[in-house]
């Protein structure tokens, strides 16, 4: 099903997409089991730029679990330190000491736990029951709620309720089919001077450094500072601060506008994005992986992939390696024994290598390449050829 209107401004998206991606995984989190393979298949995704507000977005339906915050890994010391410094600045600068802060989409409380070390009253809402339970087990005040327009954000048992003085939203808005509705809900539950801290992945970073395999159906929208500002203004906020964090993430601090304030002005002079690099990556990566498969095949050699990540799934389903590789190795037990969406490559634990060794392994785990290469050398010995994708190119490690 196609969504023909912009998720932020509601105007028609236009007929011609920026690019179309065939055979993409239908979801990054719902990993099929054997019995589901008959039904499971890749989908075609069309990336559009709204001609009116400039937001780059897919025109598809959201994944079934878009209300849930499933943070897969990445909970590193660097990330914790980043959150701490963001919290410190937010609380000091906007005088939030002793005040009520709510995180919309808190998952199992990964970042809310860090906030608990600060002198504020910290609350979180999360749609997925199992994650709410995990967060509660950590002693956090979290309840099941989503933040759709019109909702009153309060715990059922009366232990917490608004108005809140501030809110937090970490990489959640890009999943939302109605981001303005979500932000309006939050605004309605804030005090008059309420402030918020929002982060989303940066479109510019993807365009500059990543290949098409970073695009993922779970992320319906790809924001820039301009389009994010437009969305938050439409929801009744004004932007006070904008900052690029961790090289690849947009971070903004917003404040609720007075009720009498005018609606967001229509941002008709948006800049068209240049996605030529992404389009090119579809060709170059496809060709490089084809050459790799041909070369290995001609030598009678075999290939495995390491990383049942969305990037790994996408590379497997959109290039020849989905047919050529024997399996995808992943250390996460909950992925093992299942199959990659669309390509249906089996996902196996690292030890599987000893039963069914391969001659070369392609690592697809952005941010963990070095660490995984070391594991491969240590566990499988030095004779395995190790490769990795760096942006647009295949590299031997
Ligand atoms: Zn729009």
Question: 51 CA distance to ligand 1 centroid (A)?
Answer: 7
Local confidence pLDDT in tens for the 397 residues of the chain? 677 899 999 999 988 999 999 999 999 889 999 999 999 999 999 999 999 999 999 999 999 999 999 987 656 788 899 999 999 999 999 999 999 999 999 999 999 999 999 999 999 999 999 999 999 999 999 999 999 999 999 998 888 999 999 999 999 999 999 999 999 999 999 999 999 999 999 999 999 888 899 999 999 999 999 999 999 999 999 999 999 998 899 999 999 998 654 555 555 567 888 999 999 999 999 999 999 999 999 999 999 999 999 999 999 999 999 999 999 999 999 999 999 999 999 999 999 999 999 999 999 987 789 999 999 999 998 889 999 988 778 898 8
Q: What is the DSSP string of 179-207?
A: HHHHHHHHHHTEEEEEEEEEEEE-HHHHH
Question: 224 CA distance to ligand 1 centroid (A)?
Answer: 13
Q: What pLDDT score does 397 carry?
A: 87
HSE, side-chain direction, 13 A CA sphere, residue 81: 4
Question: 262 CA distance to ligand 1 centroid (A)?
Answer: 19
Q: What pLDDT score does 258 carry?
A: 81
Question: 174 CA distance to ligand 1 centroid (A)?
Answer: 14
Q: What pLDDT score does 266 carry?
A: 59
Question: 53 CA distance to ligand 1 centroid (A)?
Answer: 4
Residue 113 φ then ψ, to 5° = -60, -40
Q: What pLDDT score does 26 carry?
A: 95
Question: 72 CA distance to ligand 1 centroid (A)?
Answer: 30
- The tokens for 250 are 């947009």
Specify the 3-state DSSP secondary structure of 373: helix
- Provide the strand spans (E) within 138-274: 141-144, 164-170, 190-201, 221-222, 237-245, 249-256
Question: 80 CA distance to ligand 1 centroid (A)?
Answer: 34
- The tokens for 327 are 């399996």
Q: Which residue has the tokens 């090289």?
A: 247
Specify the 3-state DSSP secondary structure of 382: coil
Instruction: Quickly count helices (H) and strands (E) in the chain.
Output: 11, 17
Question: 52 CA distance to ligand 1 centroid (A)?
Answer: 5
Question: 273 CA distance to ligand 1 centroid (A)?
Answer: 14
Question: 353 CA distance to ligand 1 centroid (A)?
Answer: 48
Q: What pLDDT score does 262 carry?
A: 53
Q: Is the peptide bond before 163 cis (omega within 30 degrees of 0)?
A: yes
Q: What pLDDT score does 263 carry?
A: 54
Question: 3 CA distance to ligand 1 centroid (A)?
Answer: 12
Q: What pLDDT score does 287 carry?
A: 95
Element holding 265 (H helix, E strand):
none
Q: What pLDDT score does 389 carry?
A: 87
Question: 30 CA distance to ligand 1 centroid (A)?
Answer: 29
- The tokens for 319 are 């290039």
How is residue 7 annotated by DSSP? T
Question: 57 CA distance to ligand 1 centroid (A)?
Answer: 9
Domains of the chain from N-terminus onward:
77-256 (3.40.50.150), 276-396 (3.40.50.720)
Question: 12 CA distance to ligand 1 centroid (A)?
Answer: 8
- The tokens for 79 are 């990330």
Question: 392 CA distance to ligand 1 centroid (A)?
Answer: 30
Question: 176 CA distance to ligand 1 centroid (A)?
Answer: 14
């Amino acid at each position: 099903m196609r969504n023909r209107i912009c998720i932020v401004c509601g105007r028609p998206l236009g007929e011609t997409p920026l690019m179309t991606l065939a055979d993409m995984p239908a979801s990054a989190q719902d990993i099929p089991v054997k019995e589901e393979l008959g039904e499971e298949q890749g989908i075609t995704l069309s990336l559009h730029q709204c001609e009116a507000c400039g937001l780059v977005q897919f025109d598809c339906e959201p994944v079934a679990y878009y209300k849930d915050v499933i943070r897969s890994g990445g909970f590193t010391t660097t990330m914790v330190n980043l959150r701490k410094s963001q919290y410190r600045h937010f609380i000091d600068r906007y005088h939030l000491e002793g005040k009520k802060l709510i995180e919309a989409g808190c998952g199992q409380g990964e970042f809310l736990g860090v906030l608990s070390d600060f002198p504020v009253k910290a609350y979180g809402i999360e749609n997925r029951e199992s994650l709410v339970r995990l967060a509660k087990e950590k002693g956090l005040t979290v309840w099941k709620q989503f933040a759709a327009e019109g909702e009153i954000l309060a715990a059922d048992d009366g232990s917490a309720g608004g108005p809140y003085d501030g809110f937090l939203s970490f990489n959640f808005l890009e999943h939302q089919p109605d981001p303005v509705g979500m932000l309006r809900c939050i605004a309605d539950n804030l005090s008059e001077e309420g402030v918020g801290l929002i982060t989303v992945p940066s479109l510019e970073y993807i365009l500059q450094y990543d290949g098409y395999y970073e695009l993922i159906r779970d992320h319906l929208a790809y924001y820039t500072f301009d389009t994010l500002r437009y969305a938050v203004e439409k929801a009744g906020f004004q932007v006070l601060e904008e900052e690029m964090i961790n090289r690849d993430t947009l971070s903004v601090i917003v404040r609720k506008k007075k009720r009498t304030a005018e609606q967001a002005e229509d941002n008709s002079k948006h800049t068209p994005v240049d996605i030529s690099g992404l389009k090119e990556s579809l060709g170059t990566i496809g060709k490089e992986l084809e050459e790799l498969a041909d070369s290995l095949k001609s030598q009678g050699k075999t290939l495995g992939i390491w990383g049942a990540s969305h990037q790994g799934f996408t590379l497997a389903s959109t290039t020849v390696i989905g047919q050529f590789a024997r399996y995808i190795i992943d250390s996460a037990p909950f992925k093992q024994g299942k199959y990659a969406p669309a390509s249906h490559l089996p996902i196996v634990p690292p030890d599987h290598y000893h039963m069914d060794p391969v001659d070369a392994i392609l690592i697809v785990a952005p941010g963990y390449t070095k660490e995984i290469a070391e594991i491969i050398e240590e566990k499988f010995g030095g004779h395995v050829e190790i490769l990795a994708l760096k942006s647009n190119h295949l590299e031997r490690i």
